[in-house]
Structure 1
Amino acid sequence: MPRSYDIPDGPEVLDRRAGPHGEVVLRRHGELLQIIANGCFLMDTSDGRSERLLVDAALAALDGRPAPKLLIGGLGVGFSLAHAAADARWGAITVVERERAVVDWHLDGPLGRLSARALADPRTTIVEADLLDHLRETCDTFDAMCLDIDNGPGWTVTEGNDSLYSPAGLTDCARVLTPGGVLAVWSARPSPEFEGTLRNAGFRQVRTEEIPVARGVPDVVHLAVRPAVGPG
Structure 2
Amino acid sequence: VWGYLLGPLCRLKPYTLEWLRAYPLREGSRHKQLAAKLGGLLEVLKPSSEAGVDASNLPGSLVALPLFNPLREAEELRSKIKKCLGINVTVVISDSDRLYIHRSSGFALTSRRSALKRSLYLGFLAYIIGRTFRGKFAPFATPLAVVGEQLDSFMLLGLTELADRLRGSGAGRTVFEMAERFEVGLEEVTWRMLSSIKHCPAVLFKPR
Q: With CA pairs under 8 Å and 6+ residues apart, which has the higher RCO, 1 or 2?
A: 2
Q: Compare the two structures and name the one with the higher helix fraction.
A: 2
TM-score normalised by structure 2 residue count: 0.33
Alignment TM-score, normalising by the size of structure 1: 0.30
